[in-house]
Amino acid sequence: MLFNSIQFALFLPIVFLLYWFVFDRFISKSKYQLRLQNAFVVVASYVFYGWWDWRFLLLIAFTSFCSWGSGMLMQRVENQQIDPNLTGGGKSLEINKLQRRKKLITTANIVLNLLILAIFKYYDFFVTEFAQLFHISTDGLLLKVILPVGISFYTFQALSYSIDVYRGKIEPTKDIVAFFAFISFFPQLVAGPIERATNLLPQFLKKREFDYDTAVDGMRQILWGLFKKIVVADNCAVFVDEVFKTYTYQSGSTLLLAAIFFTFQIYGDFSGYSDIAIGTAKLFGIKLMRNFNVPYFSRDIAEFWRRWHISLTTWFRDYVYIPLGGSRVSKAKVVRNTFIIFLLSGFWHGANWTFIAWGAYHAILFLPANIERGRSNAFDIFLGGVWVDYF
């Protein structure tokens, strides 16, 4: 179900009215009010996602259950009592053993989630490239499965939860309904922002109250997002697609104009969808993180990547770049870390060599600013918002 579809235009008001003015009043005196409120979010989100292909509901449910279960297992390990008679080296040995168990649980969940992502998104790509390299037939080797919509988004969201629980940044939640709502929350399920458990999950652990001003603000942001998507992006796409489809017959000035239009198209698409997601979440009393901050007003490539797809950039920064040493290592390793980040970012966008080339290109552009800034590098500094949120 797309945000700019008739189905969503009917789905959203129905869910909104049921959520606040029918279902919420029905359960207002129930001691399970919060859980039932979250259960309604899960049902609505699964209807939203299953509208495209109901079979992939099993996949998101499996990812959600495994990630929730990993948190519960880590909490069980954390709660294990250490023999009070142990002292010195014996006590340290027991603590290290428990820490290794937590690490094993986290690693297993990460591997499982990435394996699912790899099978659906990258398996056919790697098999095809390997077969072409060694001139092997791919008959019977390709899965030819449909790529589940939003799998990259909710997989990264699930991974962040497991990693943050392991690091002690968030307590594992026992509330499986709230956790399923956190993973499947429909406004940001298929196009982000990629939320962290530290921000989104606690909002499902407390009751939401309807706020008129917040709802009006949400509607305003939805309309602005639709303007970006339908008026700006879709109209630019008509010209861009026609020019790029016949690029061999076009003049240089026409190709340049199409490239400029394309920059507006992709910004209108991505930023517009993010605005609709953030605005829709506000209608349900949920605050999502900002995902774009007028990136085309950036002064250099480093600032651009602090303003563009912020949820993805900061995800790679916190869970890949900094654990690799960030910029607090030798210059050779800074170069390595930068290329890893951008190559992964390119590959995250799609299983295609063009995305990998795009990642390498941006890594090369980014390196001078990153090395020059030393410890105060572009991945470690987050630009504070100074512009109107709707941009």
pLDDT per residue, tens digit, the chain (391 aa), is 788 889 999 999 999 999 888 876 767 666 677 888 899 999 999 999 998 888 889 999 999 999 999 999 999 988 876 656 666 666 678 777 888 899 999 999 999 999 999 999 998 888 888 888 888 888 878 888 888 888 999 999 999 999 999 999 999 999 999 999 999 999 999 888 999 999 999 999 988 888 999 999 999 999 999 999 999 999 999 999 999 999 889 899 999 999 999 999 999 999 999 999 999 999 999 999 999 999 999 888 888 888 999 999 999 999 999 999 888 888 888 889 889 999 999 989 888 899 999 999 999 988 887 666 554 444 444 334 434 444 4
Catalytic residue numbers, as ranges: 349
Sequential DSSP letters for 46-72: HHHHHTT-GGGHHHHHHHHHHHHHHHH
Confidence at residue 372, expressed as pLDDT on a 0 to 100 scale: 66
pLDDT at 131: 86
Distance (Å, rounded) from C-alpha 248 to C-alpha 223? 38
The pair of three-digit structure tokens given for residue 60, joined into one six-digit string = 């998101």
| Start-end of H helices in the chain | 6-17, 24-26, 33-50, 57-78, 88-121, 123-133, 151-167, 176-184, 197-204, 212-226, 234-245, 252-283, 301-307, 310-316, 331-349, 353-373
Looking at residue 197, what is its pLDDT?
A: 92
User: What DSSP line would sit under 203-255, residue for residue?
Assistant: HHSS-----HHHHHHHHHHHHHHHIIIIIIIHHHHHHHHHHHHTGGGS-HHHH
* Burial (Cβ within 10 Å: 0-12, 13-18, ≥19) of residue 339: middle
CB of 173 within 8 A of CB of 206? no
- For residues 274 and 198, the answer to whether their CB atoms sit within 8 Å is no
Distances (CA, A) of 267 to 144, 188, 235, 239: 31, 17, 13, 16
What is the reported pLDDT for 33?
Answer: 79
Residue 360's identity, in one-letter code, is A
Q: How far apart are CA 143 and CA 125, in angstroms?
A: 10
Q: What pLDDT is recorded for position 91? A: 65
pLDDT, position 240: 95
150: left (phi over 0), alpha (psi -120 to 50) or beta: left
Question: Looking at residue 29, what is its pLDDT?
Answer: 65
Residue 387 is predicted with a pLDDT of: 40
Say how far apart CA 272 and CA 192 lie, in whole Å. Answer: 11
- Name the packing angle between helices 176-184 and 33-50 (round to 10°): 40
Sign of CA dihedral 63, 69, 73, 79: positive
Q: How far apart are CA 83 and CA 26, in angstroms?
A: 50
pLDDT recorded at residue 169: 92
Question: How many angstroms separate the Cα of 18 from the Cα of each of 15, 23, 37, 79?
Answer: 5, 5, 11, 40
CA dist 362 and 347 (Å) reads: 13
CB of 196 within 8 A of CB of 316? no
Q: Which of 150, 163, 385 is nearest to 289 (CA)?
A: 385
Please answer whether residues 291 and 278 qualify as being in contact, where contact means their C-beta atoms are separated by less than 8 angstroms.
yes
Angle between helices 234-245 and 252-283 (to 10 degrees): 150
Query: pLDDT at position 384, please?
Result: 40
The reported pLDDT for the residue numbered 279 is: 96
Q: Exposure of 323 by Cβ count < 10 A (0-12 exposed, 13-18 middle, 19+ buried)?
A: exposed
